[in-house]
Amino acid sequence: MPQPPRKRPNFQGGKKPWEAKDSRGPGKGPFPPRSGPKPAARKGGGHGQEQGWDQVAGWYDKLVGDKGSDYHRNVILPAALRLLAPGAGEKVLDLCCGQGVLVPLLLEAKVAGVTAVDASPRLIESAKRRFENEKRVNFLVADACAPGPWADGSHDAAACIMAVHDVPDLPAMAKQTAAALKPGGRFVAIFMHPCFRIPQQSHWGWDEGRKLQFRRVDRYAVPQEIPIVTHPGQGGGDTTTFYHRPVGQVLTAFGQAGLGVTVCEELFSHRRSQPGPRAKGENRAVQEFPVFMAILCEKK
Ligand SMILES: C[S@@+](CC[C@H](N)C(=O)[O-])C[C@H]1O[C@@H](n2cnc3c(N)ncnc32)[C@H](O)[C@@H]1O
- Our mutation pick for probing the ligand 1 site, out of 53, 92, 97, 164, counting the most ligand atoms within 8 A of Cβ, is 53
DSSP state of 226: E
**Domain limits of the chain?**
34-299
**Helix, strand, coil percent content, the chain, rounded in steps of 5:** 30, 25, 45
Is pLDDT at 27 greater than 60 in this prediction? no
Query: How far, rounded to the nearest angstrom, does the alpha carbon of residue 254 sit from its chain's CA centroid?
Result: 15
pLDDT digits (tens, 9 = 90+) for 203-227: 999 999 999 999 999 999 999 999 9
Residue 17: CB within 6 Å of ligand 1?
no
- Of ligand 1's listed atoms, the one at least distance from the Cα of 96 is 22
Residue 143: CB within 6 Å of ligand 1?
yes
Question: Which amino acid does the sequence have at 136?
Answer: R
Q: What is the DSSP annotation of 227-268?
A: EEES-TTSSS--EEEEEE--HHHHHHHHHHTTEEEEEEEEE-
The CATH number of 34-299, from 3.30.465.10, 3.40.30.10, 3.40.50.150, 3.40.120.10, is: 3.40.50.150
More confident residue, 34 or 187: 187
DSSP state of 295: E
Tell me the pLDDT band of 33, cut-offs 50, 70 and 90: very low
What spacing in Å lies between the alpha carbon of 292 and ligand 1's midpoint? 16
- Of ligand 1's listed atoms, the one at least distance from the Cα of 101 is 9
**Mutual angle of helices 170-180 and 247-256, in 10-degree steps:** 40
Residue 101: CB within 6 Å of ligand 1?
yes
Tell me the pLDDT band of 46, cut-offs 50, 70 and 90: very low
Residue 160: CB within 6 Å of ligand 1?
no
- Of ligand 1's listed atoms, the one at least distance from the Cα of 64 is 9
Is pLDDT at 167 greater than 50 in this prediction? yes
Sequence-separated (6 or more) residues with CB below 8 Å from residue 299:
178, 181, 182, 183, 184, 185, 186, 187, 258, 259, 260
Query: How far, rounded to the nearest angstrom, does the alpha carbon of residue 20 sit from its chain's CA centroid?
Result: 19
What spacing in Å lies between the alpha carbon of 24 and ligand 1's midpoint? 19
